[in-house]
C-alpha cells in the first residue's frame, strides 16, 4: 500500500468532494463530539475556526464518499475527522487510518 505525497502532507486517499441539492443532517454522535470539542454550541450552531459563514453554508451542501467509513458523509463531518489533512482543488486529502 503506497502512501502518496502532495506537497508535504502524507495521505492515503484523495477523495472527491461532491455537491447535493439539499442540506444533510449530521449524526447525533458527531454533533455530541463537536459540542464537546467546542466546534458547536449547545443550540447546534457550528463554530469552526477560520471558516466564514459563507463557506460554512457551502460546506453544508457538500459530501464525500468516505473510504474509512465506507459511507457517504457530510463534508463537515469529514472536515472535523482526525484523518482530514487538507482540502485541495475539490478533493480531500485523507490519512485513511481506522477510526475508533
Residue with cell 460546506: 59
Burial (CB count within 10 angstroms: exposed 0-12, middle 13-18, buried 19+), residue 92: buried
Name residues of the chain where pLDDT drops below 70: 1-8
Q: What is the pLDDT of residue 6?
A: 47
What's the rounded Cα separation, in Å, for the pair 42 and 75? 21
Look up the pTM and report it: 0.81
Q: What is the pLDDT of residue 49?
A: 85
Q: Show me where the domains of the chain are located.
A: 4-94
Q: What is the pLDDT of residue 8?
A: 64
Q: What is the pLDDT of residue 63?
A: 95
Q: What is the pLDDT of residue 64?
A: 96
SS3 call for 23: coil
Amino acid at each position: 500500500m503506497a502512501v502518496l505525497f502532495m506537497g508535504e502532507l502524507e495521505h492515503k486517499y484523495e477523495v472527491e468532494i461532491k455537491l447535493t441539492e439539499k442540506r444533510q443532517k449530521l449524526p447525533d454522535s458527531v454533533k455530541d463530539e463537536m459540542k464537546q470539542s467546542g466546534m458547536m454550541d449547545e443550540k447546534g450552531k457550528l463554530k469552526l475556526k477560520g471558516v466564514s459563514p459563507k463557506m460554512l453554508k457551502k460546506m453544508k451542501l457538500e459530501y464525500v464518499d468516505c473510504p474509512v467509513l465506507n459511507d457517504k458523509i457530510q463534508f463537515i463531518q469529514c472536515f472535523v475527522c482526525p484523518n482530514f489533512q487538507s482540502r485541495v482543488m475539490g478533493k480531500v486529502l485523507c490519512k485513511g487510518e481506522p477510526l475508533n
